[in-house]
Amino acid sequence: MNSSAVETQEARARKVGVTDEALAVDLVDGRTIIVPLVWYPRLWHGTSQERNNFEIVGDGAYIH
């Protein structure tokens, strides 16, 4: 049986986008994660201005 070592690394955010329906996070490794905004009630009920008031901190480890 062959096995190969897979290097895993922590997902880090490069860019964040928020629409009326979804939260999209582009990761530094090229992947994009898109989730329904309804999963985040505070964002879902927020205004566009409130939804776009975020910052990426910790070298992309956190979104606040």
Instruction: List the domain range (segments joined by +) for residue 25.
Output: 13-54
Q: Kindly state whether residue 42 falls inside one of the protein's structural domains.
A: yes
Q: Which residues make beta-bridge pairs with 25?
A: 16, 33
**Residue 17 lies inside a defined structural domain of this protein:** yes
Quote the tokens at residue 49.
Answer: 């201005």
Count of structural domains within the chain: 1
Model confidence pTM above 0.85: no
Q: What is the spatial distance between Cα 26 and Cα 33, in angstroms, rounded to a whole number?
A: 6
The percent of residues above 70 in pLDDT, for the chain, comes to: 88
* Strands 56-57 and 22-27, bridge-based pairing: unpaired
Q: Is residue 41 part of a domain?
A: yes
* Position 60 in a domain: no
Return the DSSP state at 30: S
Look at residue 40 and tell me if it is in a domain.
Answer: yes
Domain membership flag for residue 43: yes
Bigger pLDDT: 8 vs 31:
31
Q: What is the 3-state secondary structure (H, E, C) of 34-62?
A: EEEHHHCHHHHCCCHHHHCCCCEECCCCE
